[in-house]
Amino acid sequence: MPMLIKAPKDFWSGMIFVAFGVGFVAVAREYPMGSALEMGAAYFPTLVGGLLAIMGVVLVGSSTVKAGEAIGHIGIRIPFLVVGALVLFGYLLDWLGLIPAIIALIFVGSAGGHEFRFWEVLIFALVVAAMAVGIFSFVLGVPLKLGPQL
Amino acid sequence: MTDLFQNLFLGFSVALSLTNVFYCFIGCLLGTLIGVLPGLGPLATVALLLPVTFTLGPTSALIMLAGIYYGAQYGGSTTSILVNLPGESSSVVTCLDGYQMARQGRAGPALAIAAIGSFFAGTVGVLMIVLFGPVLAGVALKFGGAENFSLMVLGLVMAVVTAHGSVVKAICMTLLGILFGLVGTDVNSGVERYTMGIAQLYDGISIVSVAIGLFGIAEIIANLELKEKREIFTDKVKGLMPTREDFKRSTGPILRGTAIGSVFGLLPGTHSIIASFASYTVEKKLSKDSDKFGTGMIEGVAGPESANNAAAQTYFIPMLTLGIPTGAMMALMLGAMMMQGITPGPQVMTKNPDLFWGLIVSMWIGNLMLVVLNLPLIGIWIKFLTIPYRFLFPGIMMFCAVGSYAMNSSAVDVYMVGAFGLLGYVLAKLDCEPAPLLLGFVLGPMMEENLRHALLVSRGDPSVLITHPISAAFLGISALSIIALIVMPRLRKQRNLMMAEAGEA
């Protein structure tokens, strides 16, 4: 099988597009289709999703014919830490409030950087948290829970 | 003609009101700042500030967002010249000669000529909008559902044609964007589509989450994977004044660059980066010492900088007059308008004349502010360049997180940012550009609405799209552009070459 794939970038992006296209069409089956005269909720997504799946197949097909570059290194640690920091932020913000959420975000996010010095990050996190409270709560007046039970 | 003056007068009275001058100033300042800083692009910034501008009136909001956009174009040139890193993608061409000038201790004149050329080009660009905007809008007002649908198809196709790399991938990204745009309650039938039962998604995925994820977070992940390496010529900026010789050599390139940029900005789908690259090529061809380009020729700074700024202004024309975004930035502007409850399209000019003319005039005022802002403040901007990335990126992440949460006070929006960041990162690794996805995302629901309307009027006969002459012309041009790109390998090669050179510079 790997022998067949000459352009891995095309192959995998094609697979992703096929998956999304098929997924959108499949879910659309739950919605009323209607007709061309009166397009139902499923009509347009089915059309576009189907087209996406077809184009995805074209990509996959061409990847077995035309040679292409190898996929560059796809990191695990950095994307995981950066996205993880965001997810943690969202979760903590609802639970404990803005200040703990920002401190967690800065710590987890900074761990994805090239250098990580504990005290430097801690001070930076506190400064950013104070800045955020100042900008968002006081200047812009966004209603945000700042800390637990506050 | 009296109409024109009346309109301009209205524009000036709106743009010169104290609040709007203030927001224009804030926009330009922020824009220059993020343009100077590599790592946070104008797209992510505008996306971040969308929720903030929600509380302002629509005119002030758009004036500020536009200020960020063209301010970033200006700021980007500063970084290109001083650090050899384009602070903003459209300034890559400026790196070629601008950085060499800085290495020879001539950063000052390079920055000054870039600012002067940009101001001149910006003024001409604004004049172009004033002259051609109303004409285009007048034509577009007569469009029905079929024409609008086909025009949107054309807009998307042009975005595909001018995207990097594979045409098929760009088409796929556009289609995927359209599908994401359909998530949420179907306006026509009230059916909740693709919400997976999550109540926060009933109103659809927020454009803020998509844009911050694709252009902010994905960018941060990519940057962190690279090792930092910067060489800054900060102490060499002295003597801003260009010599008489510099002026003499720059006049031609500025005039030609402005002309090239104005035209390129008008064409749907072309971006300021192509305009500046075209201008560079022209100057190189015209010059007597074309082999000296790349070694610090002032023509190589003056032309492209004027071109990209002229294009940045005329880029607004299709968005303002037709309601068609020709790039990711205009897609965001359109999103901002819709969030303010304004239906984009040719009727904006007649229904919201204060917004239309106020925005246009503010762009000229903003350009003036930028000259004043950029030249004397260059010392301060340089200071910002010395901030290490390990402090910058967590700070940017904080703004992304709080900004996306604050819009609906919902953690789901933050999770969406993470999801789109991850998707954008993986797709970028597979050579799929994110801009067409955002375009599709914004246009998707409008396309569905227009197609539904067109088919309703034609009693379900899809041939309406090709029997209406204007609609047929749009679809014809779309089809021809794609076929030309696929069938003519030479054209494709040239396009890829241009993109690659621009991308590597």
3-state secondary structure B353-376: HHHHHHHHHHHHHHHHHHHHHHHH
Q: Which of B387, B438, B498 is nearest to B164 (CA)?
A: B498
Q: Does B448 lie at the interface with A, CB-CB under 8 angstroms?
A: yes
Q: Which of B98, B69, B147 is nearest to B367 (CA)?
A: B69
Give the pLDDT of residue A105.
Answer: 92
Distance separating alpha carbons of residues B256 and B40, to the nearest angstrom: 31
Q: Dump pLDDT digits (tens) for A6-51.
A: 888 999 999 999 999 999 999 999 888 888 888 888 999 999 999 9
Give the pLDDT of residue B505.
Answer: 35
Q: Does A12 lie at the interface with B, CB-CB under 8 angstroms?
A: yes
Q: Does B431 lie at the interface with A, CB-CB under 8 angstroms?
A: yes
Residues ≥6 apart with Cβ < 8 Å to A80:
none
Distance separating alpha carbons of residues B476 and B479, to the nearest angstrom: 5
**Token pair of B158 as six digits:** 């042009």
Q: How many CB pairs under 8 A join A and B?
A: 192
Find out whether B440 and B174 touch, Cβ atoms under 8 Å.
Answer: yes
Strand partners, B184: B193
Distance separating alpha carbons of residues A42 and B474, to the nearest angstrom: 26
- DSSP letters, B384-446, are HHTS-HHHHHHHHHHHHHHHHHHHHT-HHHHHHHHHHHHHHHHHHHTT--SHHHHHHHHHHHH
Q: Which of the 8 DSSP states describes residue B193?
A: E
Least confident of A84-88, A124-128, B188-192: B188-192
Q: Does B225 lie at the interface with A, CB-CB under 8 angstroms?
A: yes
Q: Does A51 lie at the interface with B, CB-CB under 8 angstroms?
A: yes
Helix (H, G, I), strand (E, B) or coil at B341: coil
- B233–chain A nearest CA distance, Å: 24
Q: Which of residues 98-127 of A touch B (CB under 8 A)?
A: 98, 101-102, 105-106, 109-110, 112-115, 124-125
Give the pLDDT of residue A11.
Answer: 93
Mutate to test the interface with A, among B168, B174, B426 (most CBs of A within 10 A): B168
Residues of A in contact with B182 (CB under 8 A): 44-45, 48
In this complex, the residue of B169, B191, B193 whose CB is nearest that of residue A13 is: B169
A109: nearest CA partner in chain B: B394
Strand partners, A39: A34
Consecutive 10-residue averages of pLDDT for chain B (505 residues):
79 90 91 78 81 82 90 80 66 79 82 87 88 84 84 82 77 94 86 85 87 87 73 59 81 89 72 77 82 81 87 85 83 87 85 89 89 77 78 86 84 93 93 87 89 86 84 88 73 60 44
What confidence category does residue A146 fall into, taking pLDDT thresholds of 50, 70 and 90?
confident
> Could you tell me if the ipTM is greater than 0.90?
yes
Q: Does A18 lie at the interface with B, CB-CB under 8 angstroms?
A: no
CA angle B500, B99, B310 (to 5 degrees): 65
pLDDT for residue A118 is more than 80: yes
Distance separating alpha carbons of residues B364 and B61, to the nearest angstrom: 16
Give the pLDDT of residue B178.
Answer: 94
Q: If you count DSSP H runs as helices and E runs as strands, how many of each does chain A have, helices first?
A: 5, 0
Q: In this complex, do B448 and A44 lie within 8 Å of one another by their Cβ atoms?
A: yes
Give the pLDDT of residue B504.
Answer: 40
**A122 class by beta-carbon count within 10 Å (0-12 exposed, 13-18 middle, 19+ buried):** middle
Find out whether B160 and B172 touch, Cβ atoms under 8 Å.
Answer: no
Helix (H, G, I), strand (E, B) or coil at B184: strand
In this complex, the residue of B189, B398, B412 whose CB is nearest that of residue A41 is: B189
Kindly provide the residue ranges of all beta strands, DSSP E only, lying in A58-115, ordered along the sequence.
none
Q: Tell me which amino acid residue A138 is.
A: F
Give the pLDDT of residue B426.
Answer: 94
Q: In this complex, do A87 and B418 lie within 8 Å of one another by their Cβ atoms?
A: yes
This prediction has a pTM of: 0.84
Mutate to test the interface with B, among A15, A44, A135 (most CBs of B within 10 A): A44
Find out whether B95 and B86 touch, Cβ atoms under 8 Å.
Answer: yes
Q: In this complex, do A71 and B429 lie within 8 Å of one another by their Cβ atoms?
A: yes
Strand partners, B185: B192
- A64–chain B nearest CA distance, Å: 15
